[in-house]
Homo-oligomer: A and B are copies of this chain.
Amino acid sequence: MTDTNGTRSGRRPGNSGTKEAILDAARTRFAAVGFVKASIRSIASAAGVDPALVHHYFGTKHELFAAALKLPIDPNDILSRFRTVPVEELGETIVRTVVTIWDSPLGVPVVAAFRGLLLGDDPALARTFLLEIVLKEIQPRVDSPPGTGAKRAALAASQLAGLFLTRKILHLEPIASMPADELAATVGPTLQRYFTGDLPLQD
């Protein structure tokens, strides 16, 4: 393994091995206890390194999570775009944004990472990602009447996950070839209804 950091010779070898050990520990820990409860300290301890080294290599806990999932972007960078969108435009904006990312050059590693995440043997990491990163961000914005936010956000996730599966994994036509605009206009209202529609939810 090579040290990709370009550090001077003289430092101990095996930086990439240390990084991999940290990422392995992070994946295990995030899957076991979730994003919020997994501390940098516990991940560092499991990897046998100092917590400061984890921060030095990977930055914030969000950035460490993205690296552990092999996401080429920090999901927070995407989710932050949705914070200022009026809630009544959230459905169409989310569909247009994620489809545009999937279809971009950046989409190749994103699709590979999501594929591994959604279709891997351990669904715990995927649940952690969806519940504690993606849905946690959306849920409080759509919690009206109070208490409905979790179901609203999860229903939207079910449509988005299926759009991803049919378009990017199965390449199912005609959905695989529909332009992002057309998907935003047809699938966006589905998310919007889940977010703000009058749903017959049970207590």
Please tell me if A48 contacts chain B, counting CB pairs below 8 Å.
no
Residue pair B159, A159 in contact (C-beta under 8 Å): yes
Note all chain B residues with C-beta closer than 8 A to A169: 118-119, 123
Note all chain B residues with C-beta closer than 8 A to A111: none
| Nearest neighbor of A161 in chain B, beta-carbon distance | B162
Please tell me if A171 contacts chain B, counting CB pairs below 8 Å.
yes
Note all chain B residues with C-beta closer than 8 A to A175: 151, 154-155, 157-158
Please tell me if A160 contacts chain B, counting CB pairs below 8 Å.
yes
Please tell me if A186 contacts chain B, counting CB pairs below 8 Å.
yes
Residues of A contacting B: mostly: helix
Indicate how many identical chains form the complex.
2
Residue pair B172, A131 in contact (C-beta under 8 Å): yes
Chain A interface residue count: which class?
35 or more
Please tell me if A167 contacts chain B, counting CB pairs below 8 Å.
yes
Residue pair A166, B172 in contact (C-beta under 8 Å): no
Residues of A within 8 A of B (CB): 118-119, 123, 126-127, 130-131, 150-151, 154-155, 157-167, 169-175, 178-179, 181-182, 185-187, 189-190, 193-194, 199-202
Supply 15 further A-B pairs (C-beta < 8 A) apart from A151-B175, A157-B162, A162-B163: A130-B166, A131-B172, A131-B173, A154-B172, A155-B175, A155-B187, A158-B163, A158-B175, A159-B162, A161-B165, A161-B166, A162-B162, A182-B201, A186-B199, A186-B200
